[in-house]
Chain A
Amino acid sequence: MSEDSTRNVRCLVAKVGLDGHDRGAHVITRAFRDAGFEVIYSGLHKAPDEIVQAAVQEDVDVLGISILSGAHNTLVPKIIEGLAEYDAAEDTLVIVGGIIPDEDRADLEAAGVDAIFGPGTPMADTISFIESNAPHRD
């Protein structure tokens, strides 16, 4: 390595669709920051296209989608398809946080979600999952 190359995990915390509950997203954003991540927060009520645009342009390692509205079965796959259009699906770690019924998990994982964290997941678990699974790029 010729220069002081620095790499912090880059992460987009995204709120998608008609879901105004962002307390969890805020808490996570701060926890990620304190863990040394660079966090971009999308703001509320974003369309899947906006999330894709942000994830691609910001070249994030991790996309964390927070969703509490119950519309995850349509919105999450849309985002992942959008990432694929820009060749960004494969090396982005996609995690979902929120209320996801057990019967939906398999479909989301098949759509490309790497992990789902339900209510009550300790923050440290989420952070260590990211630290050990974030794509290593060079």
Chain B
Amino acid sequence: MPANQPDLVADLLAGKHRALARAITKIEDRNDGYRDIVSALYPHTGQADVIGITGSPGSGKSTLVDKLASQYRERGLTVGVIAVDPSSPFTGGAVLGDRIRMASTATDMDVFFRSMSARGSLGGLSTATADAVKALDAFGKDKVIIETVGAGQNEVDIVKTADTVAVLVPPSSGDDVQMLKAGILEIGDVFVVNKADLDGANKTVTELRNMLDLRDPDDDTDWSPEITETVAERGTGVTDLLDVFDAHTTWLDESGRRTEKRRTRYAEELRTLLRADANEVLEAELADRGGVDELVARIDSGATTPYEVAADVLDPIRDALRED
């Protein structure tokens, strides 16, 4: 561990913005020593309410996040925001544009806004996001908002790390409600029909209600997803939305689901870490055996099969584990 790491953690816990920013960079880059940082931060987490905001591009997520942040500030709460944007798979380059919408809280350092690109997706974007949330939590933020484009499984995984998930649905286009079928309907605690002043908002609310009613509630103690209407640009409905968030938070505590969720999350985190680490061990082993290309050439020539190679690589490891 580089010598400056304990300082970084101490500075972060002491409330230094620079240290928080740098810690998130290390987390995002999977930099050497980031694990020690996250480990050191762990005991200081668990205080923040984490809210995930997702929805199709153009549904108004960034504008809503801006209004949410300023409402929380009015209530005297501090806010952290992680906004995830896609990056080019070819150059790795990205334009991270969500920050432009954060006009209501400009120059207020108690709103810590951080843009992240999806470049790390191979190394587990959801893990990096979850770790960045921990840094904001340990820093002492009351509310942490994760904003992401609801476009794929990766994004679904990210918002799943939140305590409360809001899915934004723009009015009128049946296609957007269609999109919800792809796994997002199940994760929403709140559905926000944003831009509710536009034509078709009522229809969208009705469609949503029908789809949600089709869901079979397992039992009465389950949270039944709410639908709220907002016009984020004007701040309309934002207070109602915050009330729903608060109600969900209360329900999490009273139903014991918060504990349950936390345990599920820890289990997933642990599994993800172990998988990543085990994978690394295996990659190193493959390299020692001449690399994947070499093995593939042998498979290709018919000398062996992927199954044989896999057994060949793994059997000694299994034996070693058994001896312990």
A residues with CB within 8 A of B: 1-8, 10, 29-30, 32-43, 46-47, 49-50, 53-54, 56-59, 86-88, 137-138
Contact = CB atoms under 8 A, between A and B. Distances in A.
A34 B91 contact: yes
Contacts of A43: 99-100
Contact of A35 (B91, B114, B120, B280): B91
Interface residues of B, number: 36
* Interface SS of A by simple majority: loop
Interface stretch (B22-30, B53-61, B67-75, B258-266): B22-30
Contact of A38 (B17, B22, B107, B119): B119
B109 interface: yes
* Interface SS of B by simple majority: mixed
B194 to A, nearest CB: 21
Contact of A33 (B21, B31, B95, B123): B95
B18 A56 contact: yes
B115 A58 contact: yes
Given A6-B123, A30-B95, A58-B21, 17 more contacts: A2-B32, A4-B122, A4-B123, A5-B29, A6-B29, A6-B92, A7-B29, A8-B119, A35-B91, A38-B87, A38-B96, A38-B115, A40-B95, A43-B100, A59-B21, A86-B18, A138-B2
A57 B21 contact: yes
Contacts of B94: 8, 33, 38-39
B91 A5 contact: no
B88 interface: yes
Contact of A42 (B91, B100, B112, B123): B100
A33 B99 CA distance: 16
B292 interface: no
Contacts of B96: 38-40, 58
Interface in B68-123: 87-88, 91-97, 99-100, 106-107, 109, 112-115, 117, 119-120, 122-123
